[in-house]
A and B are shown apart, each in its own frame.
Chain A
């Protein structure tokens, strides 16, 4: 965008000109990425408010005589979930690099498969943790505090599930059509999404698990 026009003396400014049309650079991938950033930030506010609600429920009134964080949470489970998700963020990074540097599509698929597997491990650990809590009677219907826990943590789990479905779709697309521009653009967005979910998880293990057990 030229600023030269603003330099023209008053009265000479043509206001509008209609030059021959440039071959427009329809940077669709760039736009989609910007739009996706905004979507994630909107999502961030959703998570933030679930966090804030959880924070307001850490009071005796909201425990309602039911289990408290100290009685419910365990370090090993949270640590394993964290390890799985953190590693998956690195392996997704490797997949992104494989795409960026035009490695064979098998390599890309391999890293994506490892990422997906780690995501599945994470979800499996999370589900078994919920099952254990349910068995102990720590159901969301028990207290305001547990409602807010089962609002926040499974919301993140649902995002990981959506991300996993998206991963599978990308793997299908790559297996069928190779690394096309459309794949690059979508994979860039999925990478953002996956790394973003790991950032949310930092909040969850810090606030919910470590904060609750400290």
Chain B
């Protein structure tokens, strides 16, 4: 078929046979192109396999009814986390390929420079926007309404729309593996290199549209959760009684609302430059590319805290639970969280100390950067004080927590070093920096998310995750992380620049080999997570969480059955204390019979999320490939869907009659009474069915 006929460019835009990455292996069978095509085939085969599995087990209907059109915050949270785990797998594989390349990179290696540049660009973009953000959004979605005693978020339909937009961004990134190439400009996509004159292809356009779509989704999520936390709290759940995770979710949501706009602005301006020949950031005719760095980091620094605050929240929850003590320094943790949220808007220039502004400007931002270490330090002390004299159980989340405390403080120290502009001038753009931010984000974000995943899994699915594979994964992550990234500090100080495909100085090689070995452990860690999920599902009948409280935990979400009913709470609780469930259990009132039941109203399903996901992807795809008809049609469909929904009003709410709620709740309470409570010593055994035996009172020392 000849694609150069005048008809086809109008339909297919700039898509042609050369864009089909999965064919490259047949034309140029070099190792580089085998990997390139292999990735494309992996996506295609993975997609086909997914469709086949869903069809074979006849899961299309259930998936559609129970997940895709659902507005249940728990289901939406699960979908976010599934997305995050898929993208985590891709991001880790990309990281491993990059480490392998550099281990082999003395004087060459097996990847082309262009391919390597695509790898670090997608790796960064994916890990930040399509792994970290969906993971924390998913956890917030699942946990926050439960922790504040609510039945759902304030805007359930909007929640589905946010998910749809995030999925469409992720879908575009996945499509970039199969069709065309991704940007080679790094995850921050600095112009002028990402302008038309240097990258006329589709790469930067994939970056622009996937980030704009996901960014709008995240902004809406932020709005949703700020309103939810302010307006949906159960009676008695005052702000200062909210669990720490909810506090961090609140601050992260506020950051989402105010920090995403700079990214949206930067991406829109770059799009105007590329599509309409504007001159925001071009070399010629008065563009100013330095403003892009400014805008991107106006977003980028608060983003760091969007990522890390929810992980701090997870750590605050698990440290209290697994130490069997109330959280130490609650007030100081709240104040520290809020201080971090504000200060995070005052440090962005430290990402470009070397751009040319004078020493006074650098000094101001350097000092602000050092200040932000103070509230973070307060938090670490609070967690340590919580563990102090607690009966600490070294479960999988606690392994993550304790390694986090050591590694994160080390990473923080390298951050304080970088906060000094005169030192930053020496090490900027080296692998020292790469080591630093991975040192913050892997223990600070990924470990926190995995700890939260392990901790809340039984609440959502009704059975515990296998702990043996959990330990294997956790230890592999820790060892792998240390081996991969600590050598990068060394070579960074030796002067090895980041984002280089190969090097000529043999002194780097031993460190690169060590880093490559670390990549093996990281691969094992990822594989162990998959095995853990498989084993856990297979053994689910032995690890049922009937009582809903497998960890003798302290906050409201554990006062519910596992898995949760759609309405969360049979009766909305009245909260009389901080860590109310722990206080209730101490008073011997862990499982109470409510005095009365009422009808429950839940929001109806919506197609808006699916429409956003499908037509958002189509819109981005049309823009990227210059298929203007597709972009226009898709945008129109999305707009009309909103208008139609607005004019027709909300879909009918589902009403669950009081009698049914009462029957279900009483059945659960009856079942709970048949379960033998377990002590904490037997927490990880099959005997643990989610009812905690009362702790023996601490002997006052």
Contacts and interface: CB of A to CB of B under 8 A. Distances in A.
A and B touch in the complex (CB under 8 A): yes
Interface stretch (B127-135, B594-602, B621-629): B594-602
Interface in B586-626: 586-587, 589, 592-598, 601
A211 to B, nearest CB: 18
A143 B238 CA distance: 54
B576 A49 contact: no
Given A35-B227, A53-B269, A20 B574 contact: no
A169 B646 contact: yes
Contacts of B570: 18
Contacts of B643: 169
A64 interface: yes
Contacts of A148: 280
Interface stretch (B59-67, B171-179, B270-278, B398-406): B270-278
Contact of B264 (A46, A144, A186): A46
Interface in A181-204: 182, 186
Given A42-B260, A49-B261, A15 B583 contact: yes
B269 to A, nearest CB: 6
Nearest to B295: A49
Q: Which of B224, B285, B572, B573 has the most chain A CB within a 10 Å cutoff?
A: B285
Contact of B586 (A15, A23, A31, A173): A15
B64 to A, nearest CB: 27
Interface stretch (A1-9, A81-89, A99-107, A123-131): A1-9
Contact of A41 (B258, B272, B574, B586): B258
Interface stretch (B286-294, B517-525, B674-682): B286-294
Interface string B235-265: 1111000000000000000000110111011
A21 B257 contact: no
A15 B272 contact: no
A16 B223 contact: no
Interface residues of A, number: 60
Contacts of A169: 643, 646-647
Contacts of A18: 570-571, 573-574, 592-595
B655 to A, nearest CB: 13
A4 to B, nearest CB: 9
A46 B577 contact: no
Q: Which of A142, A148, A151 has the most chain B CB within a 10 Å cutoff?
A: A148
Contacts of A94: none
Contacts of A182: 649
Given A34-B231, A45-B262, A169-B646, A21 B236 contact: no
Contacts of B268: 151
B258 A42 contact: yes
Given A23-B598, A53-B291, A141-B278, 20 more contacts: A5-B236, A5-B577, A6-B576, A13-B583, A15-B580, A15-B581, A16-B576, A19-B595, A21-B571, A21-B572, A34-B227, A35-B227, A45-B261, A46-B261, A62-B286, A143-B279, A144-B282, A147-B272, A147-B278, A182-B649
19 contacts: A6-B576, A13-B583, A13-B587, A15-B582, A16-B574, A17-B576, A18-B570, A18-B573, A19-B596, A35-B154, A35-B227, A46-B264, A49-B265, A61-B288, A64-B279, A64-B286, A141-B285, A147-B279, A151-B269
Interface of B: 154-155, 158, 219, 222-224, 226-227, 230-231, 235-238, 257-258, 260-262, 264-265, 268-269, 272-273, 276-280, 282, 284-288, 291, 295, 298, 556, 559, 570-577, 580-587, 589, 592-598, 601, 643, 646-647, 649
